[in-house]
Structure 1
Amino acid sequence: MEPLQIASFVVRFQLAAVEEGTGKKQWRIKVTHVQEDRETLFDSIEEATAFMKSMVNDF
């Protein structure tokens, strides 16, 4: 039986700006990989998700 592997992430969204004409919100996303105490900043949820997938695949 393989040992239990856990990957934990803390994801924080901070409002960075709001476009005046459209009201579209721009977010700054900080992802912390708990096991490595590694923080990375992203501009989109797609980039943040890709980072988390890559961290999990590296296990």
Structure 2
Amino acid sequence: MFTPDRVAIIGATDRHGSVGRALLENLASFDGDVVPVKSNRETVLGEQCYPAIGDVPER
């Protein structure tokens, strides 16, 4: 829990001023994988986006 290899951002978006974008930007220096999850997007800030957490291929 304290040293994750991967983080999912549910509600990720590239809309300026949104919490989802702020989280993505703040995790830019994270050493692990950052996985955007948003039901109506294929990509967010150039990263592949998944429609639901259950659709992410790896745990």
Scaled by the length of structure 2, what TM-score is found?
0.22
Higher strand share: 1
Structure with the larger RCO, 1 or 2 (CA within 8 Å, 6+ apart): 2
